[in-house]
Structure 1
């Protein structure tokens, strides 16, 4: 599969480009970026082509991987799908539900596959744990803490990201927490939200269709020593904790590419497709509306 990369920022450099170039079943065919000079530099590093025209890239490849802010991703994903490109997207899918729905509809109309890179879902130990707990069932409640130090760790390359500054932890790490909880506890029917704590820290309480409830604590303003992610489930089987992953982002992204190849080959949607990511966007948008209105 010939695949092009959209984006040249830190995430494209540390995750996407290495994963795409090292994948035995992908031909890393080109890079497009909003800064042509950065696209040229990244393309040179991996011996591929820099494109000035994104539509020309769409015409030359079978798929695109996107490492761009969510509003830019949503717009370009629609164009790429309409050009017949399969989609390897990042989280969050889009900053609003209508934009996310446009991506889903474009992919469905063009009959292209989509996979959204929710890192934990493509790491072997967490992935196996999620499947095991979903099959087990009988969960009473869940608790997720996703605490980052993006805004407190000097020199963090993602701290200057305008969309992270605007959207905060709710939209940056919220998708990770929801990607773990939803497959196990079921869809969300009610949301409660509160902005208590330093910086962008927010707390959500979710009522799931299974009858279980869950709580989420999300932040990018945690002290570096306190940063980390944890998920705990309690139910009829006792207590269980999300295991730590033994591998980082690059191998996980390679597995996401495997998932895209499989979905494109079989026509069977992956569980982390754009439709699933749209449901996450819907929950986040509901919480955001509550937080902005001062309503819980």
Structure 2
């Protein structure tokens, strides 16, 4: 599969470009970015072509990997899908429900494969744990803490304009939801939402399986307090999400495997654009509740 990369920022550099280059079943064709000089630099480091025109890249590939802010990703994903290109996307799928629905609709109408990269769903240890817990019945409650220190450290993502605008809810919220939803069932409603220190938000969800969950999400945690933790309690006892020693590249390569499989078989992956849309709907519902509290 010939694949191009849209994006040149830190995530494109540290995750996407290395994964695309190392994957044995992908032909990494080239890079397009909103900053042509950055595209030339990143393409040069990986021995591929830098494209000035995104449509020229789309004409040369079978698929695109996207490492761009949510609003830009959504616009270009629709464009790529309508051109018949398969989609390896990042979370969150979009910044609004309408944008996310446009991506999901375009992928469905064009009959192209889509995979949204939720890291925990493609790490070996966490993927196995999620599948095992999803097979269990009787979960009563869950607690998820996804605490980042992006804005309290020297993180390469600290300058991200969309993260400063949308905060932890939209950046790490998708990670937490990607773990909870397959285990507890869809979120029937966001029962409560409240602000904490910095950009921290706390949510309570009611799930289709009968359980409730609480989420604490932040990008402004002290570095010593940063980390992700998910705990489930129910008839099967107590279990916690295992920590993965993997970095970003191996799971992203497995997400590419999933895209290849979906494209070959026509079967949608559980983390396709439709799932990305559902996550976006939940985030938007929580954002609305938080706005009401501010009002």
TM-score category by the smaller chain? over 0.9
Return structure 1 stretches of 4+ with deviation > 2 angstroms.
192-197
Deviation at 1:59, TM superposition (A): 0.8
- Work out the CA distance in 2 between the residues paired with 1:140 and 1:123: 25
Show the counterpart of 1:120: 120
Show the counterpart of 1:247: 246
Show the counterpart of 1:36: 36
Deviation at 1:209, TM superposition (A): 1.0
Q: Deviations over 1:35-76 (max 9, x none)?
A: 001000000000000000001111110000000000000000
Show the counterpart of 1:172: 171
- Work out the CA distance in 2 between the residues paired with 1:194 and 1:79: 35
Secondary structure of the residue that 1:136 maps to in structure 2?
coil
Query: Is the contact made by 2:116 and 2:273 (CA closer than 8 Å) also made in structure 1?
Result: yes
| TM score, norm. by length of structure 2 | 0.99
- Work out the CA distance in 1 between the residues paired with 2:191 and 2:157: 28
- Work out the CA distance in 1 between the residues paired with 2:194 and 2:210: 25
Show the counterpart of 2:18: 18
Q: Deviations over 1:166-224 (max 9, x none)?
A: 00000000000000000000001110343332110000000011110000000000000
The CA RMSD over aligned residues, in Å, is 1.0
* Equivalent runs, 1:192-211 vs 2, <5 Å: 192-211=191-210
Deviation at 1:156, TM superposition (A): 1.1
- Work out the CA distance in 2 between the residues paired with 1:128 and 1:160: 34
Query: Is the contact made by 2:58 and 2:80 (CA closer than 8 Å) also made in structure 1?
Result: yes
Show the counterpart of 2:80: 80
Deviation at 1:103, TM superposition (A): 0.2
Secondary structure of the residue that 2:65 maps to in structure 1?
strand
Show the counterpart of 1:220: 219
| TM score, norm. by length of structure 1 | 0.98
Query: Is the contact made by 2:200 and 2:220 (CA closer than 8 Å) also made in structure 1?
Result: yes
* Equivalent runs, 1:212-291 vs 2, <5 Å: 212-291=211-290
- Work out the CA distance in 2 between the residues paired with 1:217 and 1:192: 14
Deviation at 1:294, TM superposition (A): 1.1
Q: Deviations over 1:241-279 (max 9, x none)?
A: 000112110001000000000000000000100000110
1:190 maps onto 2:189 in alignment: yes
Query: Is the contact made by 2:97 and 2:281 (CA closer than 8 Å) also made in structure 1?
Result: yes
- Work out the CA distance in 1 between the residues paired with 2:193 and 2:208: 21
Show the counterpart of 1:148: 148
Query: Is the contact made by 1:193 and 1:202 (CA closer than 8 Å) also made in structure 2?
Result: no
Secondary structure of the residue that 1:159 maps to in structure 2?
coil
- Work out the CA distance in 1 between the residues paired with 2:12 and 2:140: 39
Query: Is the contact made by 2:195 and 2:290 (CA closer than 8 Å) also made in structure 1?
Result: no
Show the counterpart of 2:162: 163
- Work out the CA distance in 2 between the residues paired with 1:195 and 1:162: 23
* Equivalent runs, 1:65-104 vs 2, <5 Å: 65-104=65-104
Secondary structure of the residue that 1:106 maps to in structure 2?
helix
- Work out the CA distance in 1 between the residues paired with 2:169 and 2:116: 17
